[in-house]
Amino acid sequence: MPEPFVLAPRHTASGGLPVAAAPTLDPAFGALAEFIGDERVTDLFVNGTDGLFLDRGDGAERMPQWRASEREVRDLAVALVAAGGRHLDDQSPCVDVRLDSGIRVHAVLAPVSTSGTALSIRVPRVHAADLDALAALGSFAPGQRAWLESLVGERANVLITGGTGTGKTTLLTALLSAVPVGERIVTIEDVAELRPRHPHHVSLEARQPNLEGAGRITLAMLVRESLRMRPDRLIVGECRGEEVRELLTALNTGHDGGAGTLHASGLADVPARMEALGALAGMDATALARQVVSAFTVVLHLGREPDGTRRIRQAGRFLLVADRLGIEEVRPW
């Protein structure tokens, strides 16, 4: 097993805020540490005994030198999940966890994963933690940058959408890093990934049930609890279920400057995705439409280019269409 890889140490910006929190990589990564040490790598995939694949920005590529048995991959998955404070076993064969280093690990055991234990590891790169860094990477044009800053300053409620790996969490982190230092940010996530450069950030994370099936804390429960914490900015990292009801209620009752993310293939697909979440929360289409139109100021839809660059592809605004939720594209920059 190679020596644990050590990320760059914490530095301090001129304003005194930490620029890059970088704890030592957990020894549980074992032989994967050398690959995570590559600054170009954003995702690692272990597909049982079928091999290891890395994404360096040009799509997944196989690492021919990687060899591991199913037992070794399973032990690796169990160790990584345990390092994040959760358990992976035959009773809980699918687990998502965030480690102290900020790395996110998703594991699925066989036989749920028919090809053997499957690991999906996402590595956040600290060089894209604010709007300056994203602008340097080509994520948006100068005009878009000024508009994004105005959204933060005006306390607009923003919904960020896009497919997997399009940079939703990265953009949201950058926007939160631009929030005035006198405001209190409360973020709510299934697996905590948001780490804005901000001195007053409280992170709440959902919790899976214990081995006896008790102790589960859902996103919807956390949204309700957060309202008692006097947040200036209430953020839900990803809307995926009934918590959308609580988020919409909060954004419609004086909690401006909030935000959330949502998986969607295109801007035109966002209303249908919102209606699906509303149905999970017991909301009919008309009630949901009225709540959403009132709650969100703007929708930012992201995409990933063939060269790996994540960009803002479209912006939109929700509207009512015969008492149903619709959306129209806008170009405010």
- The one-character DSSP state at 127 is G
pLDDT at 4 over 80: no
pLDDT for the residue numbered 11: 41
How would residue 208 be classed by pLDDT, with cut points 50, 70 and 90?
confident
Tokens of 260: 């959330």
- CA 139, 145, 151: angle at the middle one, nearest 5? 120
pLDDT for the residue numbered 40: 85
pLDDT at 53 over 90: yes
Q: What domains sit in the chain, N to C, each tagged with a CATH number?
A: 27-122 (3.30.450.370), 127-330 (3.40.50.300)
Task: Enumerate the H helices of 84-212 as residue ranges.
Answer: 131-136, 142-153, 168-177
pLDDT in tens, 153-172: 999 999 999 998 898 989 99
> Are the beta carbons of 288 and 325 closer than 8 angstroms?
yes
Query: What CA–CA distance (Å, rounded) separates 226 from 218?
Result: 12
pLDDT in tens, 283-312: 999 999 999 999 999 999 999 888 778 899
pLDDT for the residue numbered 20: 40
How would residue 150 be classed by pLDDT, with cut points 50, 70 and 90?
very high
pLDDT in tens, 218-272: 888 998 899 899 999 999 988 888 889 888 988 988 889 999 999 999 999 999 9
pLDDT at 1 over 50: no
pLDDT for the residue numbered 19: 38
pLDDT at 179 over 90: yes
DSSP 200-240: SEEEEE-B---TTS---B-HHHHHHHHGGG--SEEEES---
Q: Please, what is the angle between helix 285-295 and helix 243-251, to 10°?
A: 50
How would residue 119 be classed by pLDDT, with cut points 50, 70 and 90?
very high
- The one-character DSSP state at 6 is B
pLDDT for the residue numbered 198: 93
Query: What CA–CA distance (Å, rounded) separates 164 from 19?
Result: 26
Dihedral sign from CA coordinates of 116, 119, 120, 125: negative
Phi, psi of 140 (to 5 degrees): -160, 160
Q: What is the mean pLDDT of residues 98-106?
A: 86
How would residue 125 be classed by pLDDT, with cut points 50, 70 and 90?
low
DSSP 25-81: PPGGGGGGHHHHTSTT--EEEEEGGG-EEEESSS-EEEETT----HHHHHHHHHHHH
